[in-house]
A and B are shown apart, each in its own frame.
Chain A
Amino acid sequence: MEDAIRLIDVKKTFDGKEFVLKGLNLNVKKGKLTAIIGFSGTGKSVVLKHILGLFQPTSGRVEVLGKDVSQLSSDDLTKFRCNFGVLFQSSALFDDMTVLENVCFPLQEHRRNLLPNQVLEIASKKLRQVGLDPKHFEKLPSQISGGMQKRTGLARALALDPEILIYDEPTTGLDPILTEMVDNLIVETHKHREGVTSVMVSHDLHAAFRIADEIVMLDAGRVLLCGTTEDFYNADNELVKKFVSKGMRKENSHT
């Protein structure tokens, strides 16, 4: 199967001394939902920022949809990012815009041929797709719940029908019910979008095992294990065993 994202021997240092990524190799298959997991400080978010072109690797290559992201000029990178839809940990909604305006924004920026009522129509459709009631459309992000903010963030990420969907710690800080709702939302979104590649960065092991096609575990700036849920349950590596047992125990105590 074709790879949508490839990180080849990526090294990254911010201070010239300590390496956050130490020759990381990672392949994300097209059309699959891949979860990147690992303990805090193992470089998960740094990997994500490399994929998005927000960080440049100190050495190595980052290929997304066949293009070397680190070689793109600033203007080309800006255009290239239309291929991504990102749901941030904090939702990152624009607080001076209403829910509907937040979803309209990427359409207004990149689909300039659309009429204002067409933009509103598409944005409303996306919001309904993620299960948001139209009565909340005119509210500001501060006036809606955390779950609704996640839904709005996802609707905004989907607005341009991107080829790659990225979820940056989507359930961190949420209660178990909301976590399950977001997980289901991710699964549903992925299921209904054929060919769309999804990457989820999380330390929520339960969610990763439940929804991902493939799981990548990072440790100390390298890939420790890449495989399915079964591969993780059957792994011999002590660190993987520890992560799985602790992660699952934590989840069981929640339920």
Chain B
Amino acid sequence: MIIEYFRNFVKEVGDIFLFLVNSVRLLFMKPYRILEITKHMEFIGNQSLGIIILTSLFTGLAMSFQIYLGFKIINAVNLVGPTVALGISRELGPVLTGLIVAARAGGAMAARLGTMRVNEQIDALDVMGVNTKQYLISPRIIAAVICMPLLTAVFDFVAMLGSYFLVVHLVELDGAIFWQRIRDTLEARHIYEGLIKSAVFGLVFALVCSYRGFNTVGGAKGVGEATNKGVVQSMVSIIILDYFLTNMIRIYYVITGTG
């Protein structure tokens, strides 16, 4: 049974990888789906903006408050700003943005493609001589890869505004020190690190959710299962992948002597 499970897992990973390779290959083949990419960028990026602003603001506030309470004990409240900035830009920004967008846009992707599959709309595209992967999958993947770093940048910025508001206006620390400490500690590469991670997370959730939706079988039950699997597997993958990406980036810093 374990062998069977492992074999299925390996097969599925292989299928998803081939699905990715094919979708990326088709991205560079005519006809270029610019309009479709733009449409999906609007859905993934623009329509996620509100929820990202809201969650990042409160993440910044809550995180700053917890760190302030901890640092107050050791009399290091001036380090709240840089600690929050590093945590948000390198870890929480990309991971939380990935999880939120995977739940919102990834779930919608899987449900939409699943519904198209069970309603024969994908078959209709196939028999119309339209390459369904090129029309439906490639634009979604590239749109997610482009939008995720942009959304993460917004998350980072708004979270820091939340942090500033709490530190300066609620617990009344010095605003100038708050920014100065961040400038002393935070480097551009810390932000890039988070943005690169978020692009990878975008690729992962778009790929997994598209794969699940595209390969839906059955009726409404199948669509529900595909959506559920797509979202859960995307979220778990993002969290696991974050750990490995963090380590890979550390190794890169060590090899290049920039760490």
Query: Interface residues, chain A, CB within 8 Å of chain B?
Result: 52, 54, 75, 78-82, 84, 86, 88-90, 92-95, 105-106, 109-110, 112, 166
Contact = CB atoms under 8 A, between A and B. Distances in A.
Nearest to A110: B129
Pairs A-B, 5 closest by C-beta atoms: A92-B124, A92-B120, A81-B129, A82-B129, A86-B127
Contacts, number: 48
A112 B121 CA distance: 22
Contacts of B124: 86, 88, 92, 94
How many interface residues does chain B have, given as a range?
A: 10 to 19
Nearest to A49: B123
A84 B127 contact: yes
Contacts of A166: 127
Nearest to A166: B127
Contact of A89 (B120, B121, B129): B120
Contacts of B66: none
A86 B122 CA distance: 13
Contact of A54 (B119, B127, B128): B127
17 contacts: A52-B126, A52-B127, A54-B126, A81-B127, A84-B127, A88-B123, A88-B124, A90-B120, A92-B120, A92-B121, A92-B123, A94-B121, A106-B129, A109-B31, A110-B129, A112-B31, A166-B127
Contact of B130 (A84, A109, A112): A109
A156 B119 CA distance: 16
A82 B126 CA distance: 10
Given A78-B130, A109-B128, 4 more contacts: A54-B126, A78-B129, A90-B120, A106-B129
Contacts of B121: 92-95
Contacts of A106: 128-129
Contact of A80 (B123, B129, B131): B129
Contacts of B123: 54, 88, 92
A105 B121 CA distance: 13
A88 B117 CA distance: 13
Interface in B121-164: 121, 123-124, 126-131
Contacts of A54: 123, 126-127
A78 B120 CA distance: 17
Contacts of A105: 128
B24 to A, nearest CB: 16
Nearest to B132: A78
A81 B131 CA distance: 11
B38 to A, nearest CB: 15
A79 B129 contact: yes
A90 B130 CA distance: 19
Nearest to A75: B131
A94 B120 CA distance: 10
Contacts of B119: 90, 92, 95
B214 to A, nearest CB: 14
B122 to A, nearest CB: 9
A95 B113 CA distance: 12
Interface in B184-207: none
B250 to A, nearest CB: 42
A89 B119 CA distance: 10
Contacts of A75: 131
Interface centre among B31, B126, B129 (most CB of A within 10 A): B129
A106 B131 CA distance: 12
A78 B131 contact: yes
A103 to B, nearest CB: 11
Contacts of B127: 52, 54, 81, 84, 86, 166
Interface centre among B31, B121, B127 (most CB of A within 10 A): B127
Nearest to B30: A112
B128 A88 contact: no
